[in-house]
Amino acid sequence: MDHSNKVNRRKFFRQLAGATGAAIALPYIIPASALGKEGATAPSDRIVMGVIGAGSMGTGDMRTFMGKPEVQMVAACDVDKSHREKAKSIIDANYEKSDARIYNDYREFLTNEKLDAVILALPDQWHGIIYIACANAGLDIYGQKPLARTIWEGQQIVDAVQKNNIVWQTGSWQRSVAQFHHAAELVINNRIGKVTHVEVGLPNGTPSQVHNPVQPVPEGLDWDMWLGPAPASPYRGVCHWNWRWILDYSGGQLTDWAGHHIDIAHWGLGLDRTGPVEIEGKGVYPREGLYDVPVEYFITSRYATGVEMTIANARRLEHGMGVCWYGDKGWIHVNRSGIWASDDKILAEKIGDDETKLYYSRDHAQNFLDCIRTRKETITPVDIAHRSISGGLLGEIAMLTGRKLKWDPDKQIFPDDPLANRLLRRPFRSPWKLKGN
């Protein structure tokens, strides 16, 4: 395929959106005469996408987007040969072709591919560098949560995405599910009165301890590239999926799930563009085995409005997994299994036309695609994603320091604890830098 003659598709979408403005109704309607042979969007009008990080999450997202007729998936990048070859076979099988392109190095991927949008599903230590590289390349981004491994990296991602006018959707898909939307809308419209407290129950822990020895790197895995900016470490048989239990790459269940349930908690409170003003927490860190993320965590955050948030292992909370807001007139609890309230009548309440309506989406991927065309904000924009994960990362810092911390959510610093501020950022392993890649 000759990419040099392709129009800058993103520019095309932007111009289209600019010309017709708000007149474009969602979903975007394409004249039947332009439909391709699949009865969908003509190939030339499709949103051209690729994926960086083609593991279980990346290929899952890839399949979701390939299920959209307006998407053309063309390339995959992964530092594991088996991952990228599998991604190619999935793409090729979907289009009954054999021209999907694969890469080991995201820099080559970005240089060679002319994409409209990219799916990013990487271990957390890579988020800062690659998210920003893609934003600077002008690609719209479907980025997996949590936004970043540190608060400072999150801030840099927000800046890059906003500066480049990137349409950003976070993989915080719960916002596009009816019960979460319903729960948050009831709460924000005072159906349980003034909220004083919210409990956020996250999964209980990690898999059992593993004591893996140092071992040869499997063939086809570029381990040094997988580590990227994380500290050098010999391979010990833990890479895909289970990287989540090692602090160099993740904060464990806490940071994995902050982008879901803290995100929803903030949404209902109307606090999703700010953060707490005070945090304290206690974590229990395993002393043996390779995994070092906390298996027990109990965090209390206080917001400027006075509302208090508890974030903890689900089994330590009254309602378990999910979000439970407590107001002076009742409570609402929501998770992936359902929605409950202190009184069923609360759940039957309708939200009036003059009340606060939260962003409506029932298809997270479609919402992203629609916004690529309209250039409007998605249901989970980057700055909200940053505040959702910050709720978890601040808890992590409170546990690591063992101190009650004051937080300035505007300046995003601990005003009176310089040592806690050190934890806002991690130096990268040479030669990786956040800027200039």
Binding site for another protein (CB under 8 A): 204-209, 211-214, 229, 231-234, 236, 284-290, 292, 295-296, 400-403, 419, 422-423, 425-430, 432-435
DSSP-derived pairing of the beta strands 47-52 and 117-120? parallel
Contacts for 395 with CB less than 8 Å, ≥ 6 apart? 254, 258, 279, 281, 297, 299, 301, 311
Kindly write down the DSSP assignment for every residue of 143-178, as one continuous string. EPSSS-SSHHHHHHHHHHHHHTT--EEES-GGGGSH
Measured from the Cβ of residue 74, the count of other Cβ atoms closer than 10 Å reads 20
Closest distance of CB 166 from another protein, Å:
23
Distance CA 188, CA 200 (A): 17
CB of 429 to another protein, least distance (A): 6
Residue with smaller CB distance to another protein, 75 or 295: 295
Q: How far is the CB of 296 from another protein (least distance, A)?
A: 6
- Shortest distance in whole angstroms from residue 139 CB to another protein: 23
Give whichever of 236 and 302 is closer to another protein, judged by the CB atom.
236
Nearer to another protein, 32 or 419 (CB): 419
Sign of CA dihedral 93, 94, 100, 103: negative
| Residue 420: CB minimum distance to another protein, A | 9
Nearer to another protein, 211 or 350 (CB): 211
Long-range CB contacts for residues 230-235, cutoff 8 Å, separation at least 24: 230/125, 230/429, 231/429, 232/429
Kindly state the smallest distance separating residue 427's Cβ from another protein, in Å: 5
| Amino acid code (one letter) for 305 | T
Smallest gap from Cβ 295 to another protein, in A, equals 5
Q: Which is nearer to another protein, 132 or 188 (CB)?
A: 132
The answer to whether 94 and 69 have CB atoms below 8 angstroms apart is no
CB nearer to another protein: pick between 51 and 148? 148
Burial of 163 (0-12, 13-18, 19+ CB in 10 A): exposed
Q: Please tell me the distance from the alpha carbon of residue 403 to that of residue 282, in angstroms, as a whole number.
A: 9
Choice between 27 and 402, CB closer to another protein? 402
Beta bridge partners of residue 280, listed in sequence order = 300
Q: Which residues contact 281 (CB under 8 A, 6 or more apart)?
A: 297, 298, 299, 300, 311, 395, 396, 398, 399
Shortest reach from residue 394's CB to another protein, in Å: 16
CA 357 to chain centroid: 23
Instruction: Indicate the residue among 115 and 394 with the shorter CB distance to another protein.
Output: 394
Closest distance of CB 234 from another protein, Å: 5
Please tell me the distance from the alpha carbon of residue 249 to that of residue 290, in angstroms, as a whole number: 13
**Closer of 284 and 304 to another protein (Cβ):** 284
Nearer to another protein, 8 or 212 (CB): 212
Q: At what angle do helices 81-95 and 56-66 cross, to 10 degrees?
A: 10
Q: How far is the CB of 67 from another protein (least distance, A)?
A: 37
**Strand 101-103 to 71-77 pairing:** parallel
